[in-house]
Amino acid sequence: MFKKVLLALGLAALAMSGSAQEKELLRIIGEEKQFVVQTKNGSFVITRTMTPCAKNKGWLQPLIPVPGVHPVTEIEMLHAMNDKDALIVDMREPDDRIKGTIPNSYHIPYTQVAGRMDELGCSKNKAGKWDCTKAKKIFAFCNGPVCPQSPTAITAMVRDGFPADKIYYYRGGMLDWDALGFPIVKDEF
C-alpha cells in the first residue's frame, strides 16, 4: 500500500511537471493550492491553474455563503429581472462593472454594501441598527465561483441585520453569465 501511495504521488508530481508546474497554481480552498483525493488506484492530487475561463485567482466559494441564503441559477436571475420586489446587485469593484455587467443590475461594491443597506430597503432605527423588515429580495453576484466579493458582502449584510432568507446568491456570477451567452452591458453605473 505504501509503495502505491509513493508511486501515485510520484506520478502526480511528474504529471504536474509538464503542465501545472509551468503555470502558477491557484488556490482551491482557502490558501490551499492542492487537494488530495484517495482513489482506488491511490492518491490523486488536484490542482488548479489559470485558464481563459478561470478569469481570476480567487478560491472556490461555497454554494451557500451564509446559512439561510438561497443559491440561484441563471433562470432565477432572469425571473428576478421582472420581480418588482427584487434587486439584482452587482457587488464587484467599479473597474469590473465598467467592463460588463448583467442588464438592469444595481451597483454597490462589496466593501460598501453593509453601510448602504438603506438602498436595499432597510432603515436605521433609533439605536442606530438596521431594521430590515421591509428589505427587498437581493440577488447578489460578483465575478463567479472563485470570487469572494459577494460572499464577503453577504456575510457583512447578515452580520448587520439583513435577513439571510432574503438574499439570493448567484455564485456563477459574470463568469457563468458570459460563458452561457447572455447579454452584457458595458460602461453602466
Which structural domains are found in the chain, ordered by start? 2-47 (no CATH), 70-179 (3.40.250.10)
Tens of pLDDT, residue by residue over 51-87, are 766 556 677 788 899 999 999 999 999 999 999 999 9
Residue 31 grid cell: 490558501
Cα–Cα distance for residue pair 150/73, rounded to 1 Å:
15
Residue spans of alpha helices (H) in the chain: 2-18, 74-80, 94-99, 149-159, 173-179
Do β-strands 42-47 and 34-39 pair in parallel, antiparallel, or remain unpaired?
Answer: antiparallel
The pTM (predicted TM-score) of the whole model is 0.80
Phi-psi region of 81 (alpha: psi -120 to 50; beta: other; left: phi over 0): alpha
What is the pLDDT, as a whole number, of residue 144? Answer: 92
